[in-house]
Structure 1
């Protein structure tokens, strides 16, 4: 396989992805859809991929926006949050049975109802660790392409359905919050400088410390430290927030590019059943957690949702919920999923 760094940059596919994604985001914003710019871009580029339009969004473009998003998420931190860390112990403890119930039910559905092979169904059902699941699934005899598409479809469906579910159940107005435009001029030169420090230093620090999702977590931690210590109070302008949402949404939609329409529809059909089971488990555990603690149901729902770390954190940020809590639960989910599957794989090989 050729080194990705030596391949020519896919300018035509990138231009199509950004153009189609921006148009989709603008349409959803005009229609007042929740989380309009991300959902619109994701839907538009996903449909383009289904219609065999050669959209493409490489990680080397997506990564800088992940860094920007981390710095943006860090603005929701404050010093008072540190005192509530002990309240996270119960949600973290409940995470283990949640993963067993959610992953187990999705595996049974994919293997017995969808008819996937056991290795393919198992690694497709795990709610987290995309790259690890693909590599381990292929090693165990599963189909890596199907596993990759199943995880892409899961994230696509969760990001599509969850904002609507939260708005329906809780009455929260995701669209209304995004309509509160923050001008670019409000950032100022000093704010822009601290924003750049958070992004650049954080990305470097995340890689040096080998953090999970280093670009996102590193920049978020640096920005959080600056805000919690009252060194700066910069807030990210709405145009940067909208652009980041378009990039994230288009990146999800472009994951289906190069796949035949029949296969995309088949995978989406299988994933719809598995994702429904995962979301049912999420709702049940979220209700139990909000009943036993003071954590709002929307916050618990986002914390357990089987979606991407960046996407779920962004929804929490848009809703004004506690981003550190949601991000911490997702980091723990990914760690527990990958480590648990690794231990199971070693046990199977010994047998």
Structure 2
């Protein structure tokens, strides 16, 4: 099949999976349904191909959406977040101290691969850093991809099935009416934000750039609108399809043991996130649900969507995920070089 037909087939499978999850009232239906449907198709070796070129536009839409939840009242809370950011740093060190040995001994990875598989950082950054230091890329790709999938599924299911919250519907509820001027402002946030993000080389530029510009527009009161609901639904289907297609070329026999390892690592990480979340509650009065979303390593975009769906503080969640990614990108290579030097020392 030509690439365009394979893209279309992947999107059709993703849309069907999203529609099924929506009909069954499952959490975050359009993204999770698309993700699991295309992941199953990829493992079954269906002739699909992920629409990766559309991902920058998709995450830009979601960035603008999350930015629309920044209100002037948020600025009054910012001073209390210094303590929670300190807790985040301690939490990141604890995750590394627990999950890296877990992959080394339970997964029998070599130390270099275990190090970059167990770090609570972004998928792309950990693959690049791991390969540059001699790690095996395939286990790192599986570890982080499955961690993201499992974290999204577990967190969304917890809020929907255990706490009874509606996760995945009404994400644009409460936004102001969308006029032509509002639409133009939001479009400029997406396009200019992406370009600035890439120019400044910030992490996740196509997401954070639009989010920051959209937040600035909403904080200054220039607009109170959000992207239309249909566009947000399409963006979630596309994002889920891209995530599911990451499993192309991987056999189900390889995924099963990797998934078992990833589940163990994810549960360990979420357990530490719960402890750190309780500490955030004691220090700054942060609600446990909000703290968990800010700490759960399920991806900045995806955790932001869940935060939006349950009406948590999107700014708090986004800030802590950005801080986590930056801390890992900066400190993980430094710590790795120090550990390698100690191991080589006589």
TM-score by length of 1: 0.91
Shift of 1:254: 0.9
Per-residue Cα deviation, 1:54-77 (whole angstroms, up to 9, x for no partner): 322243211111111111111101
Deviation of 1:169 (Å): 5.3
Alpha-carbon offset, residue 180 of structure 1: 7.7
> Which residue of structure 1 lines up, in the alignment, with residue 102 of structure 2?
109
Q: Gapped runs of 5+ residues in structure 1?
A: 1-7
Query: Is the counterpart of residue 187 in structure 1 residue 178 in structure 2?
Result: yes
Quote the offset at 1:9 in angstroms.
8.0
Q: Distance in 2 between matches of 1:128 and 1:198?
A: 26
Q: State the partner residue of 1:135.
A: 128
Measured at CA, do residues 39 and 285 of structure 1 come closer, stay the same or move farther in structure 2, by a change above 3 Å? same
The reply to whether residue 124 of structure 1 matches residue 117 of structure 2 is yes
User: 2-side partners of 1:162 and 1:328: how far apart?
Assistant: 19
Report the Cα distance in structure 2 between the residues aligned to 1:242 and 1:180, rounded to whole angstroms. Answer: 9
Q: Call closer, same or farther: CA 1:198–1:179 in 2, change over 3 Å.
A: closer
2:335: which partner in 1?
344
Q: Tell me what 2:93 maps to.
A: 100
Q: What's the CA shift string for 1:143-202, capped at 9, x where partnerless?
A: 111111111111111111111123355443225xx05887xx953322221221111121
Preserved contact between residue 54 and residue 257 of structure 1 (Cα < 8 Å): no
Normalised TM-score (structure 2): 0.93
2:278 to 275, 283, 287: 287
2:46 pairs with 1:56: no
How far the C-alpha of 1:112 sits from its partner, in A, is 1.0
In 1, Cα distance between equivalents of 2:202 and 2:279: 30
Partner of 1:254: 245
Among 206, 224, 228, the alignment partner of 2:219 is 228
What SS does the corresponding residue of 1:307 show, helix, strand or coil? coil
Deviates more, 1:186-195 or 1:11-20: 186-195
Structure 2 unmatched ranges of 5 or more? none
Map 1:18-167 onto structure 2 (within 5 A): 18-167=11-160
**Does structure 2 conserve the Cα–Cα contact (< 8 Å) formed by 1:186 and 1:237?**
no
SS in 2 for 1:38: helix
SS in 2 for 1:174: coil
Q: Distance in 2 between matches of 1:145 and 1:54?
A: 21
CA distance in 2 between counterparts of 1:117 and 1:13 reads 36
Q: 1:179 to 1:89 in 2, by over 3 A?
A: closer
| Aligned equivalents of 1:238, 1:270: Cα separation in 2 | 37
Q: Which deviates the most, 302-311 or 105-114?
A: 105-114
| Structure 2 residue 295 is the aligned partner of structure 1 residue 307 | no
* Partner residue, 1:274: 265
Quote the RMSD (CA, aligned, Å).
Answer: 2.2
* Cα shift at 1:51: 1.0
Aligned length: 342
C-alpha offsets along residues 230-270 of structure 1, whole Å, 9 cap, x if unaligned?
A: 11111222111111111111111111111122112221122
Distance 1:211 1:80 in 2: 26
Please say if residues 42 and 245 of structure 2, whose CA atoms lie closer than 8 Å, have aligned partners that are also in contact.
Answer: yes
In the aligned structure 2, how far is the partner of 1:9 from the partner of 1:97?
49
Question: 2:203 corresponds to which residue?
Answer: 212
Partner Cα separation in structure 2 for residue 31 and residue 179 of structure 1: 16
2:232 counterpart of 1:241: yes
Query: Which of 313, 320, 326 is 1:335 aligned to?
Result: 326
Asked if structure 1 preserves the Cα contact closer than 8 Å seen for 2:171 and 2:308, the reply is: no
Question: How far apart in 2 are the matches of 1:76 and 1:180?
Answer: 10
How far the C-alpha of 1:123 sits from its partner, in A, is 0.8
On the 8 A contact 2:33/2:240 being kept in 1, the answer is yes
The answer on whether the counterparts of 1:120 and 1:142 sit within 8 Å (CA) in structure 2 is yes
